[in-house]
Amino acid sequence: MAKLKNKYKREEEELINSMIKSGNKTFITRIELIETSKIKEHQIYECRYVDNGTKKQVNIIAHDVTDAVSKLEAMVGFGLPQQAANYMLGSEKFNLDK
């Protein structure tokens, strides 16, 4: 894996402030696979993101990382509280295959 130069390494808060200052108010800072789900062929991802300038963290049950991003994309921009988003995205009840 290629190493990132030190001048490009910043603390998360500094990076978030820089992104907001440049006009980006909604973006993902980190997605990490943390566990497998009870739902067949699904995993649980921890996602840290900024929604309209507010830092949030949720767990998302998804088939893969692209599914996780799609589910998160449907939640951002509405001012939905972190707890509500976490409940909907991280609950098996709301993630049953159709």
C-alpha pair distances (Å), 54 with each of 4, 8, 70: 27, 23, 19
In a domain, 3, yes or no: no
Spatial distance between the Cα atoms of 89 and 68, rounded to a whole number of angstroms: 9
Total H helices, total E strands in the chain? 3, 3
Q: For residue 60, give its domain range.
A: 12-94
Taking residues 14-37, report their average pLDDT: 94
As a whole number, the mean pLDDT across the chain is: 88
Number of domains in the chain: 1
Taking residues 14-27, report their average pLDDT: 93
Q: Tell which residue, 73, 71, 70, has the closest CA to residue 91.
A: 71
31 pLDDT above the threshold of 90: yes
In a domain, 19, yes or no: yes
Model pLDDT for residues 51-93, shown as the tens digit of each residue: 999 999 999 999 999 999 999 998 888 888 888 888 888 887 7
